[in-house]
Amino acid sequence: MPTDLTAGLADRVAEALAADGTLKEGSYSVVLSRRKRAVVETRADGHHVVRIVATSTPEKIVRFVRANRTALEENARRIREAAPQRPAKQLRDGEVFQLLGRPVALRPTASPADPAPAGAMLLDAAELERRGARAVIDWYCDFGLGWMHSTAPALWSRLAPGRPLPTLAVRDLGKRREGLFEDGPFRATLHWRVFQLDAVLVEYALAHELAHAARPPGASHGPGFWRCLQGALPDARARHRDLLVAARTAWVGDLTEGIAKRP
């Protein structure tokens, strides 16, 4: 809570920063903090939060911001680039999704049992109307599970020959995880959204979880784990880096508006 000595201090600092112009208008906010020293934090959207303390003065904060302008701008740029950039979709005829790195067009239909044309995501129009994005997500889950069953045996034979293949699954694993191995049920799971990415990255995600199932010695992601994984995929580390970048732009089920019906 502000005291008589700090009342209005945040406003005075904000006015001084606005007059100075080092930080772009609208790119920062000033708040009074109980920290021991003033700091500038940068949020995921690149917005700066100038956290001042009771002993701060407008002059000190302006000097600090001027002296650290380049570092603050670079930090904001890095954070913006690293932040997820999730697209939103419309569930309309012809809306383009990604499947193993290639475009597929949503085609609502009254006859979903019909063979889907190449490059098409054929979904029951009534089901799409009723369930929205969940219908598309389930389509990815069904495709992904079939893909895993056709791809996993060859990878597994290079990781742990002669041992039973883990149970395979596809589901939503939240915002931060692309795959999961569970020792109890002996199950390797991939997030449904990874099936939007290039096939080599999806193969890596699967191999990563299967490598955990192979139980290499040492820490979970220690040298033994990477030796095991690179035995199946020699370029595993490069694929790992590419996966982290690509996953930031995968669709996660967000919609721009309601269902757009097919004419």
Per-residue pLDDT at 257: 61
Q: What whole-number distance in Å separates Cα of residue 115 and Cα of residue 41?
A: 53
Best CA proximity match to 50, nearest among 78, 20, 80 = 20
Residue 192 per-residue DSSP state = G
Mean pLDDT of the chain: 89
Q: Is the pTM of this model over 0.95?
A: no
The DSSP result for 20-70, as a single string, is H-SSPTTSEEEEE--SSS-EEEE-TTS-EEEEE-TT--HHHHHHHHHHTHH
pLDDT at 2 over 60: no
Check whether 54 has a pLDDT greater than 60: yes
Question: How many other C-beta atoms are found inside a 10 Å radius of the C-beta of residue 97?
Answer: 17
Q: What is the CATH code of the structural domain delimited by 96-247?
A: 3.30.2010.10
Q: What is the pLDDT of residue 80?
A: 66
Asked whether residue 143 carries a pLDDT value surpassing 90, the answer given is yes
Q: Residue 177: phi, psi to the nearest 5?
A: -125, 130
Supply the pLDDT for residue 115: 72
Q: Could you give the residue range(s) of every CATH 3.30.2010.10 domain in the chain?
A: 96-247
Tell me the pLDDT tens digit for each residue of 92-136.
999 999 999 999 999 999 886 777 777 899 999 999 999 999 999
Cα gap 172→168, rounded to integer Å? 14
Task: Read off the amino acid at residue 193.
Answer: R
